[in-house]
A and B are shown apart, each in its own frame.
Chain A
Amino acid sequence: MPSGIFKKKSSSTLPADASSYLLALSQADARTRNKVSSSATSTISTPALSLSSSLTASTKDTFLTQADKDDIENIHGLSLPAKPPTSDQIYRAVHTEFGHCSTEEFRRFSSHLPNTPVPKHVDRDPPYYVLLSTYISYLILIVLGHVRDFLGKRFYPKSYADLMPSNGYAPLTSDFDSFYTRRLKLRMNECFNQPVTGVAGRTIQILDRYSPDYNHTQISLGTISRALNISSYNYLGFAQAQGGVADAVEVGMKLYGVTTCGSRLTGGSSDLHTATETLVAKFLGTEDSLITSMGFATNSTIIPALVSKGCLVISDELNHASIRFGVRQSGAHVKMFKHNDTNALEALLRETISQGQPKTHRPWKKILVIVEGLFSMEGTMVDLPRVLELKKKYKFNLFVDEAHSIGGIGKHGRGIADYFNIDPEEIDVLMGTFSKSFGAAGGYIGGKKCLIDRLRIRSYSGVYAEAMSPPVMVQIIASMASIMGVQESELNHSVSSGGSTLRLASPDSAYYGPITQRFLPTWLPLPYELSSGLEGRERLRRLSFNCYYLHRGLDKLGFIVYGHPCSPVVPLLIYQPGKMIMFHRMMKDRKTPIVTVPVAYPATPLITSRIRLCVSAAHTKEDIDEILRACNEVGDVLDLKHGISKKERWTLDEVCGRAVELVNLPDHDWGN
């Protein structure tokens, strides 16, 4: 059903090619501009932004906005499930936050099959003309940019004032340093920093805006539209304003307020912190854990407490900025190895251990290898078994950043160690964040008690940074407990759901069982769906299904996607910079708008610009169908299908129809 993919503002049929689409876009822009200038006085301060202001909030609640009307009329097809629920299906979640889906088939677990090789990531190369036109695009952009700079500085010195020395002050940014921002990023600013409201769940509400001056400023239109959200790190779908977890947060917030007033060591600790840390340690399967109020700061303030001068950090070349920030503060020597290449890691280990410290050749005090469980831009997975083998042989310490893998992968949702069924204590430092799978904020470190205690007093966070806020902690406790399941003493759990019998504590794991009531604060209300672990389990299984489905569906449609199929991060390769904006816009301008995240240089190599899709358990199969349909159509218009050969491709209907089969193909049979 390709008809009407563009919203009212453009033609209802699919434009034959990109140029006609461009024309339609510019017409739409012109229309928007007229609309704004004709009602300039009233639109600038319309409801959208003042919604949040404290003075007007209560009165605004009773006022039906256009966005509410859209929701009621289901203009975008996002407020109601495709199939109305039957009488025996009771959904507690709001469909726009967490999609309703009860089909037992659309579930799976992600876990590594024992005794199978870890699948190597195969990079597919696009045809040369794609590479060529990408290079040419950048060349044109760079040359044009330099020409404009050259001419602009001479003829319009005013607009370059910020880049020139003035009045004895050197410019705040040199024109060279800001070249990329001014000449490349500015062109696609409409894709970034989009203000939103509501819950970053299955759908999100965006505050519509437009730019009258080529992206130099963005003006709010005062309207809100709802879009399907395939961009937030809401892997397990815990970003919810309604439901059991939110209810728990409400109770916690009423009790504890929003702050504990200070750093952990100087008067900002509360019993809730202790409880959260105990629970997180239990969740991870480590002896102890500590939490901090920001994920970025977990890396940047704790790595310096682990290594110092005379130590070596060996870091994957694609590690997150926070890790680099922390390593740079630590004063340790850094070496990088090729992304996810364990052979390169071994070679580097042999070289560095044998050479010792530069100049003096003294042996290193410690070597800390830092990798990520799932890489945030690639979706690739670290080959943990092999890294642990190397660890035994080369005696280094291992730090794994599980920001994207914790909660998302493994049979019990415990991340990379769970996925490979490896004792989590084999990893010296387990780091992760709560801002992704758990819909909260902040980060944690898990490890041996003596390590954690040392970090408590030696990391900058514990001493100086504000402690985690109580509502955030309750969100973490409630969401984690719902994944783990709470054993009520007398209950011997064997609950049936949807025809299949699920055992609460799966006996195949020595590390992860349900928790007892003692791990939860006594005031914390958890409804049965959460405390039984049923809902948590559903989330894990839905996420895994969705990841495999989107990943393999896109692949079968002919796109180039990177990463492991169980990764909720699905990078869809675009290459040419111009197409990224087009892709973003075309997805957003559909009848069912979809918001996407384009990432380009410097976050990725120059050539491999991509759209990063983030799958969530909150999506239903129909949502993924819709995303595949959209990608398929836009991909045809923009010529993005450079993956498997035409013969091997499936049609959209085949992909949607055979989804279950696609998802259940074993990993090692895939792609070769």
Chain B
Amino acid sequence: MASASSTFDTAVLTFAHALSTVERTFYKLPGSAIIERYVRSSHQNDPGRTFLELIIFFLVVRTVLQSRTRADRSNPKNFIEFTEKEIDELVADWVPEPLSQPLNDVEMAELAAVPVVAGPNGPHPVLVNTGKPAINLASFNFTGLAGNEHIKQRALETMRKRGVGSCGPTGFYGTFDVHLQFERDVSEFLGTEGAILYSQGFSTISSVIPAFCKRGDIIVADRAVTLSIQKGMEISRSTIRWYDHNDLHSLEEVLQSVEKERRKRKGPLTRRFIITEGIFERDGTMTDLPRLIELKQKYKYRLILDESFSFGAVGRTGRGLTELYNVQASKIDMLVGSAAIGLCAGGGFCAGSNTVVEHQRINGSAYVFSASMPPLLSVSASEGINILRDNPPLLTKLHDNIRAARVLLDQVDCISVPSHRASPIIHLYLRNTSPDSLLQPPSSIPSGKPSNPASPIPRDAPVFDIEKEERLLQEVVEEAMALGVMITKAKRVRGLEITEARPSIRLAMSSALSKADTEKAVNVVIKILKRKFR
């Protein structure tokens, strides 16, 4: 009896000792106090809950371990202990920078010179700045849909049935019948399985990219993509590789190097994307779509193509690059376009397979977390598509105007025009501030060595004096406005973009202008350029 009880005692003692050791080690661990407090309070309430929470806890741990988007913990070693008094002193000493710098004189003057239209915008708007009508080569009205009476009428009818705002995100009673109609219209127009409508053109691609590209995925992108794409890629936290602007040889080299890297590392198969634009916002150059598709299929990449400036402007009926090159739109995995630019309404869309579209309805931040577009804008966009489909002459006229403008501009020595001949936006670079050779495509640069794909900056980056060129171009813009031609520089947020775009004047062509007016306006610009930079 006694021996039995003594063995029992030792067993209890050993157990108690073991327990206290465990306890001590536990309390040595950082953060253990919190866990203890938590367990204690929850256990007090309900012992069963502790057990369940343990299970949940392990599930969560598993989730976190699997998740590729987990945040880095800050380094506790780097923490400095301060007394309360020291903290108070540090707080008193801290002098923050002002939230914003006031504008300097140049910026102020430029802001004041931004063209403001009195009344409706169109081919011949009246400017608040001058009080006089001007020929409009600045606003996006490629096929002259702005001010179209039929569209206005339909928008009005919609407003009288559905009000103005949608008052809800798409998930929660913000999906109107007309939104679905527009999505069907776009996908039918382009020939894709489906499409999804976002309520702002600019935000569309910044949201589409992170919906698909996650940490660990690979993006191969053009070095001159527009800001919204840059931001989308930044948010995605994917690995980004860059190829030289609009140079598909460079693209292929980068694709090969990525493949080599992967083989070397024997990593798992990850999602891979090529992201580029149809017509580049930055300079109006155009992608060779058939070759791009060939490459993407050969290397098994998905293609995200931003057609904001080609949809509604290029091709016989304005379907964009796919129509121009006669490529099936379904070969582009995510085709992003703007209903605000190409259709003179509002919003943007992403067309693709049903899987691609449905995925965004849950994962596209700007789609999920924002009120849907006002129904009347969606109807305007649908009507825009109908008009484009039924009126090929609208586009013919646009293309004629582009050609007429290009014929004149190509004869001017003091500027260079990087834009493609079919592009509805025409960028003008100043020639005299930098040597000519730098304006050639990078592939023909003699140094010959490829750029580093990990860096957005090309090896032989062209040099230009941003400040000086901006100033000179701004002078041209203001003189043209004084002479009744509304033009604009391509504005940038300097310092916030990954690479700096070369300063340029951006002309936007429109079929709402007659050929004579287009030529007249372009000639005014040319005259100013010639006078200033001869």
| Residues of chain A whose beta carbon lies under 8 Å from any beta carbon of chain B | 48-49, 51-54, 57, 97, 128, 131-132, 135-136, 138-139, 142, 162, 165, 167-173, 176-177, 181, 185, 192-201, 204, 206-207, 229, 231-234, 238-242, 246, 249-250, 253-271, 273-274, 293-297, 300-301, 304-306, 308, 320-322, 325, 328-329, 349-350, 353-355, 358-359, 361, 363-368, 393-397, 428-429, 433-436, 438-441, 450-451, 453-461, 463-466, 469-472, 475, 595, 597, 606
With the chains together, A173 CA to B75 CA distance in Å? Answer: 32
Question: Smallest Cβ distance from A538 to chain B, in angstroms?
Answer: 19
Q: Which of B108, B111, B139, B151 has the most CB of A within 10 A?
A: B139
Could you tell me if A259 and B121 are in contact, using CB atoms closer than 8 angstroms? yes
Could you tell me if B80 and A322 are in contact, using CB atoms closer than 8 angstroms? no
Determine the chain B residues whose CB is within 8 A of the CB of A53 once the complex forms: 181
Can you report 21 residue pairs joining A to B where beta carbons are below 8 Å apart? A51-B177, A54-B386, A128-B46, A181-B362, A197-B178, A198-B162, A232-B172, A233-B167, A239-B167, A254-B152, A262-B139, A264-B114, A274-B116, A294-B370, A296-B369, A301-B203, A304-B496, A308-B496, A354-B80, A355-B79, A361-B78
Could you tell me if A595 and B173 are in contact, using CB atoms closer than 8 angstroms? yes
Could you tell me if B170 and A170 are in contact, using CB atoms closer than 8 angstroms? no
Determine the chain B residues whose CB is within 8 A of the CB of A167 once the complex forms: 300
Determine the chain A residues whose CB is within 8 A of the CB of B35 once the complex forms: none
Question: Smallest Cβ distance from A60 to chain B, in angstroms?
Answer: 11
Question: Smallest Cβ distance from A429 to chain B, in angstroms?
Answer: 8
Could you tell me if A135 and B56 are in contact, using CB atoms closer than 8 angstroms? yes
Determine the chain B residues whose CB is within 8 A of the CB of A173 once the complex forms: 359
Q: What 1/0 mask marks residues of chain B from 182 to 212 whose CB sits below 8 Å from any chain A CB? A: 0000000000000000011111001000001
With the chains together, A428 CA to B181 CA distance in Å? Answer: 42
Determine the chain B residues whose CB is within 8 A of the CB of A321 once the complex forms: 365, 368-369
Determine the chain B residues whose CB is within 8 A of the CB of A271 once the complex forms: 116-119, 128
Could you tell me if A172 and B165 are in contact, using CB atoms closer than 8 angstroms? no
Known contacts A132-B48, A170-B271, A259-B146; is-contact A241 B159 (Cβ 8 Å): yes
Chain B residue nearest to A245 (CB atoms) is B164
Question: Looking at chain B's contact residues, is the secondary structure mostly helix, strand, loop, or mixed?
Answer: mixed
Determine the chain A residues whose CB is within 8 A of the CB of B181 once the complex forms: 49, 52-53
Question: Smallest Cβ distance from B449 to chain A, in angstroms?
Answer: 30
With the chains together, A306 CA to B171 CA distance in Å? Answer: 30
Determine the chain A residues whose CB is within 8 A of the CB of B492 once the complex forms: 463
Determine the chain B residues whose CB is within 8 A of the CB of A460 once the complex forms: 202, 227-228, 231, 493, 496
Determine the chain A residues whose CB is within 8 A of the CB of B52 once the complex forms: 132, 135-136, 139
With the chains together, A270 CA to B128 CA distance in Å? Answer: 8
Q: Which of A142, A261, A470 has the most CB of B within 10 A?
A: A261
Could you tell me if B119 and A435 are in contact, using CB atoms closer than 8 angstroms? no
Known contacts A53-B181, A54-B154; is-contact A395 B96 (Cβ 8 Å): yes
Sorted nearest first, the 4 A-B pairs with minimum C-beta distance are: A267-B138, A465-B202, A435-B371, A261-B139
Total A-B residue pairs with C-beta atoms closer than 8 Å?
Answer: 417
Q: Beyond the given A194-B173, A472-B165, could you list 6 further A-B residue pairs with CB under 8 A, ordered by the A residue number?
A: A197-B161, A250-B159, A269-B114, A306-B99, A466-B200, A597-B172
Interface presence of B272 (CB below 8 A): yes
Determine the chain A residues whose CB is within 8 A of the CB of B366 once the complex forms: 294, 296-297, 300, 325
Q: Which of B96, B177, B234 contacts A197 (CB 8 A)?
A: B177
Known contacts A231-B172, A267-B486, A361-B80; is-contact A172 B162 (Cβ 8 Å): no
With the chains together, A181 CA to B440 CA distance in Å? Answer: 49
Interface presence of B86 (CB below 8 A): yes
Chain B residue nearest to A194 (CB atoms) is B173
Question: Smallest Cβ distance from A130 to chain B, in angstroms?
Answer: 11
With the chains together, A195 CA to B96 CA distance in Å? Answer: 49
Interface size class of B (residues with CB under 8 A): 35 or more
Could you tell me if B269 and A170 are in contact, using CB atoms closer than 8 angstroms? yes
Known contacts A261-B344, A353-B94, A439-B167; is-contact A293 B496 (Cβ 8 Å): no
Interface presence of B383 (CB below 8 A): yes
Q: Which of A293, A438, A450, A463 contacts B103 (CB 8 A)?
A: A450
Determine the chain A residues whose CB is within 8 A of the CB of B108 once the complex forms: 453
Could you tell me if A259 and B345 are in contact, using CB atoms closer than 8 angstroms? yes
Determine the chain B residues whose CB is within 8 A of the CB of A463 once the complex forms: 227, 491-493
Question: Smallest Cβ distance from A299 to chain B, in angstroms?
Answer: 10
Known contacts A301-B202, A361-B80; is-contact A262 B166 (Cβ 8 Å): no
Interface presence of B349 (CB below 8 A): no
Could you tell me if A436 and B159 are in contact, using CB atoms closer than 8 angstroms? no
Determine the chain A residues whose CB is within 8 A of the CB of B382 once the complex forms: 54
Interface presence of B7 (CB below 8 A): no
Determine the chain B residues whose CB is within 8 A of the CB of A441 once the complex forms: 164-166, 199, 371, 373-374
Could you tell me if A193 and B369 are in contact, using CB atoms closer than 8 angstroms? no
With the chains together, A242 CA to B167 CA distance in Å? Answer: 16
Determine the chain B residues whose CB is within 8 A of the CB of A461 once the complex forms: 202
Known contacts A259-B344, A328-B235, A441-B165; is-contact A266 B491 (Cβ 8 Å): yes
Could you tell me if B120 and A257 are in contact, using CB atoms closer than 8 angstroms? yes
Known contacts A258-B345, A441-B199; is-contact A270 B116 (Cβ 8 Å): yes
With the chains together, A204 CA to B226 CA distance in Å? Answer: 40
Interface hits, B50-85 → A, CB 8 Å = 52-53, 55-56, 59, 66-67, 74-75, 78-80, 82
Interface presence of B295 (CB below 8 A): no
Could you tell me if B177 and A200 are in contact, using CB atoms closer than 8 angstroms? no
Known contacts A128-B49, A172-B355, A267-B136; is-contact A294 B146 (Cβ 8 Å): no
Interface presence of B438 (CB below 8 A): no
Question: Smallest Cβ distance from B484 to chain A, in angstroms?
Answer: 15
Q: Which of B156, B163, B344 contacts A239 (CB 8 A)?
A: B163
Determine the chain A residues whose CB is within 8 A of the CB of B271 once the complex forms: 169-172
Could you tell me if A200 and B173 are in contact, using CB atoms closer than 8 angstroms? yes
Known contacts A177-B214, A267-B486; is-contact A197 B162 (Cβ 8 Å): yes
Could you tell me if A465 and B162 are in contact, using CB atoms closer than 8 angstroms? no
Interface presence of B155 (CB below 8 A): yes
Question: Smallest Cβ distance from B71 to chain A, in angstroms?
Answer: 9
Could you tell me if B374 and A456 are in contact, using CB atoms closer than 8 angstroms? no
Question: Smallest Cβ distance from B126 to chain A, in angstroms?
Answer: 9
Could you tell me if B371 and A233 are in contact, using CB atoms closer than 8 angstroms? yes
Chain A residue nearest to B67 (CB atoms) is A176
Interface hits, B352-380 → A, CB 8 Å = 355-356, 359, 361-362, 365-366, 368-371, 373-374, 376-377, 379-380
Could you tell me if A469 and B362 are in contact, using CB atoms closer than 8 angstroms? no
Interface presence of B399 (CB below 8 A): no
Chain A residue nearest to B380 (CB atoms) is A258
Question: Smallest Cβ distance from A630 to chain B, in angstroms?
Answer: 17
Determine the chain A residues whose CB is within 8 A of the CB of B491 once the complex forms: 263, 265-266, 457, 463
With the chains together, A396 CA to B96 CA distance in Å? Answer: 8
Determine the chain B residues whose CB is within 8 A of the CB of A234 once the complex forms: 167
Question: Smallest Cβ distance from A252 to chain B, in angstroms?
Answer: 10
Question: Smallest Cβ distance from B391 to chain A, in angstroms?
Answer: 14
Interface presence of B100 (CB below 8 A): yes
Determine the chain A residues whose CB is within 8 A of the CB of B55 once the complex forms: 139
Determine the chain A residues whose CB is within 8 A of the CB of B411 once the complex forms: none
Could you tell me if B172 and A354 are in contact, using CB atoms closer than 8 angstroms? no
Known contacts A232-B168, A266-B490; is-contact A48 B177 (Cβ 8 Å): yes
With the chains together, A176 CA to B63 CA distance in Å? Answer: 9
Could you tell me if A241 and B140 are in contact, using CB atoms closer than 8 angstroms? no
Question: Smallest Cβ distance from B232 to chain A, in angstroms?
Answer: 9
Known contacts A269-B114, A466-B200; is-contact A439 B163 (Cβ 8 Å): yes
Chain B residue nearest to A57 (CB atoms) is B157
Could you tell me if A300 and B206 are in contact, using CB atoms closer than 8 angstroms? yes
Determine the chain B residues whose CB is within 8 A of the CB of A254 once the complex forms: 152, 156
Could you tell me if A353 and B369 are in contact, using CB atoms closer than 8 angstroms? no
Q: Which of B100, B171, B365, B370 contacts A192 (CB 8 A)?
A: B171
Determine the chain A residues whose CB is within 8 A of the CB of B119 once the complex forms: 255-256, 270-271
Known contacts A128-B48, A270-B121, A394-B91; is-contact A354 B111 (Cβ 8 Å): no
Interface presence of B330 (CB below 8 A): no
Determine the chain B residues whose CB is within 8 A of the CB of A199 once the complex forms: 161-163
Could you tell me if A455 and B117 are in contact, using CB atoms closer than 8 angstroms? no
Interface presence of B147 (CB below 8 A): yes
